[in-house]
Amino acid sequence: MKDIKRTSVSGCVGIFPALLSPHRVYLSPTGKVVYTLKTPYRDGTTQVAFEPVDFIARLAALAPKPRVNLTRYHGVLAPNHRWRGEVTPAKRGKDVKRISNDEVRSTVEHHAAMTWVQRLKQVFNIDIEVCSRCGGSLKVIARLEGQDVLDRI
């Protein structure tokens, strides 16, 4: 049983490497997770003991949620500020005038409007518009999703 607890605690250290140092966490003989503080509390406390489940819960609370921006912008760089389009390189903001399709787009605006085919080519160097056998050009006419659709074809 001690090996299971020791493994789970060391696994937590591996999952949350930026949140705590593995040198400051250990499993006590009583089965509690002991965390040695980097700087002592005002009352002189240098270590804190938790039940393993409580320790994991506290670590999980510190971990950021997935797909959430950790950087918050305030002032002129805030998303809805009326001057944001004037001070950011992408010229995106609340009151920025959108150009029509007939006008020529700058490279920054063109980059924001790339298709998924263009993004595949730029990021992964996968060009699905060129035939792998003959080198001729291909055109994507549909994207099929779902096993039932593929089974019918």
Is 123 within the bounds of a domain?
yes
Question: What does R_g of the chain's alpha carbons equal in angstroms?
Answer: 27
Percent of residues, the chain, with pLDDT higher than 70: 75
Pair 129, 140: CB distance under 8 Å:
yes
Q: Which residue in this structure is represented by tokens 């950087």?
A: 71
What is the mean predicted confidence (pLDDT) over 13-20?
59
Domain stop point among 36, 62, 88: 62
Pair 96, 90: CB distance under 8 Å:
no
Enter the pTM of the model.
Answer: 0.39
Is 48 within the bounds of a domain?
yes
- pLDDT at residue number 1: 40
Q: Mark out the alpha helices in 52-113 (DSSP H runs).
A: 52-62, 84-87, 107-112
Q: How many CB atoms lie within 10 A of CB 46?
A: 10
Is 26 within the bounds of a domain?
yes
Is 96 within the bounds of a domain?
no
pLDDT at 11 over 80: no
Is 72 within the bounds of a domain?
no
Is 93 within the bounds of a domain?
no
- pLDDT at residue number 3: 45
Is 67 within the bounds of a domain?
no
Is 142 within the bounds of a domain?
yes
The count of domains in the chain is: 2
Q: Let me know the angle formed at the C-alpha of 70 by 113 and 51, rounded to the nearest 5 degrees.
A: 140
Show the domain range for 23: 2-62
Which has more pLDDT, 16 or 35? Answer: 35
pLDDT tens for 28-76 read 999 999 999 999 999 999 999 999 999 989 888 888 788 887 788 888 8
pLDDT tens for 76-102 read 888 888 888 888 887 776 665 655 554
* CA end-to-end distance (rounded Å), the chain: 53
